[in-house]
């Protein structure tokens, strides 16, 4: 067999891909063992039937051939108008490329920002695919650590130091944040923008959770002074409209960047199926009330979880202002996040993600996805807290 490329064989840098506990839980489920899964950010409700009906009607109506590679014009127009209305940044269809989901958009954005070997900065903790995505785009990933005591907010001084030390070309951020649930305050985003300007960085802003804000507000850094021409925004229908399996997202950026990214799409994905785009267009026409309905269970479950956590002192919640997750500090147990998650799965068949799956800054933490019904979530979290307390009693 010929040798595989260095790029494909080193996507995980010789380490774990971070999904070990998740795979163990799925194997137990396949064996018939009931497991409460609080691992991945998958809605427990499925895509609204009206959206699926729009998708089926489009397919039956014949929109099953090649769609325009940049995306169908009505969808690009709808996203451009939505972004203009929500962010205040004038946006046209020429600033929009439709992609097969947010993950494809992340990869494509870094292909646009990086030449082979360029350093790409990203914030630790991070969504588990980020380092591999940067390597796949021929970048050299460099993590910028953050601290639990600071709610995992990045500091300008750390960004600047890393940018200068590595002659970085890009910075990837995510707010509202997966895995921490942190929403970056305006000052943090202003500091990030200033660091990008001073160090001539592309800013790649993953904003797929922008409809899940529980406290404060979402500010897209593209709206900050002098940032529209150096920011690529990743968006998606997955979280806002419970369309995870439909694989439809977008990149927002300067016209020249989008033009080049259309060339990339022509040679890779060749666009997104037209009937899926028609369904996405229909979903967007349902307006903000529909998006709030999709977000409402996670808002409610966050409040419910915080009430349970306030009744004990062993497990501490990192302040969470958005997204469908809670990051929990379990360092009082003396276990790593990975050891705790595996022990919890073995003892109580409750699956959570180790903080270490998202980087070393989250060591000693676990991520809880608020993706089961209220009663199951309450029972699982109560058991988790009791389990953690028992570990401290044993030490």
In CATH, 6-46+289-394 is 3.90.1150.10: yes
Supply 324's token pair.
């469908």
Whole-prediction pTM: 0.95
Handedness of CA 11, 13, 14, 16 (dihedral sign): negative
Range(s) within the chain of domains with CATH label 3.90.1150.10:
6-46+289-394
Range(s) within the chain of domains with CATH label 3.40.640.10:
63-286
Relative to beta strand 140-145, strand 170-174 is: unpaired
Question: Are the C-beta atoms of residues 128 and 19 closer than 8 Å to each other?
Answer: yes
Question: Are the C-beta atoms of residues 93 and 148 closer than 8 Å to each other?
Answer: no
CB atoms within 10 A of CB 174: 25
376 prior amide bond cis, ω within 30: no
In CATH, 63-286 is 3.90.79.10: no
List per-residue pLDDT tens for the chain, 395 residues long: 899 988 888 888 766 667 889 999 999 999 999 999 999 999 999 999 999 999 999 999 999 999 999 999 999 999 999 999 999 999 999 999 999 999 999 999 999 999 999 999 999 999 999 999 999 999 999 999 999 999 999 999 999 999 999 999 999 999 999 999 999 999 999 999 999 999 999 999 999 999 999 999 999 999 999 999 999 999 999 999 999 999 999 999 999 999 999 999 999 999 999 999 999 999 999 999 999 999 999 999 999 999 999 999 999 999 999 999 999 999 999 999 999 999 999 999 999 999 999 999 999 999 999 999 999 999 999 999 999 999 997 65
């Amino acid at each position: 067999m010929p040798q595989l490329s260095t790029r494909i064989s080193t996507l995980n840098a010789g380490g774990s891909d971070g999904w070990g506990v998740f795979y163990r839980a799925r194997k137990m489920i396949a064996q018939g063992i009931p497991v409460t899964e609080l691992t991945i950010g998958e809605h427990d409700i499925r895509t609204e039937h009206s959206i699926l009906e729009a998708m089926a009607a489009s397919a039956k109506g014949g929109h099953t051939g090649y769609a325009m590679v940049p995306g169908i014009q009505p969808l690009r127009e709808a996203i451009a108008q939505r972004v203009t209305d929500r962010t205040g940044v004038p946006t046209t269809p020429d600033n929009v490329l439709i992609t097969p989901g947010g993950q494809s958009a992340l990869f494509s954005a870094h292909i646009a920002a990086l030449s082979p070997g360029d350093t790409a900065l990203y914030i630790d903790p991070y969504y588990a695919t980020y380092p591999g995505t940067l390597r796949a785009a021929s970048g050299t990933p460099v993590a910028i650590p953050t601290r639990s005591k600071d709610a995992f907010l990045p500091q300008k001084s750390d960004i600047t130091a890393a940018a200068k030390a590595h002659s970085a070309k890009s910075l990837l951020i995510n707010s509202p944040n997966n895995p921490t649930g942190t929403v970056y305050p305006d000052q943090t985003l202003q500091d990030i923008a200033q660091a990008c300007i001073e160090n001539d960085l592309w800013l790649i802003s993953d904003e797929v959770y922008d409809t899940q804000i529980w406290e404060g507000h979402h500010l897209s850094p593209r709206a900050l002074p002098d940032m529209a021409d150096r920011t690529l925004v990743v968006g998606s229908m997955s979280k806002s409209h419970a369309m995870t399996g439909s694989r439809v997202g977008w990149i927002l950026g300067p016209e020249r960047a989008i033009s080049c990214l259309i060339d990339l799409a022509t040679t890779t994905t060749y666009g997104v199926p037209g009937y899926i785009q028609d369904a996405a267009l229909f979903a967007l026409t349902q307006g903000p009330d529909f998006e709030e309905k999709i977000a409402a269970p996670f808002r409610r479950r966050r409040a419910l979880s915080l009430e349970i956590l306030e009744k004990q002192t062993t497990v501490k919640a990192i302040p969470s202002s958005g997204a469908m997750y809670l990051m929990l500090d379990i360092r009082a147990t003396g276990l790593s996040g990975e050891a705790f998650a595996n022990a919890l799965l073995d003892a109580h068949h409750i699956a959570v993600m180790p903080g270490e799956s998202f980087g070393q800054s989250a060591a000693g933490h676990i991520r809880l996805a608020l993706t089961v019904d209220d009663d199951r979530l309450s029972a699982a979290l109560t058991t988790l807290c009791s389990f953690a307390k028992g570990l401290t009693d044993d030490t």
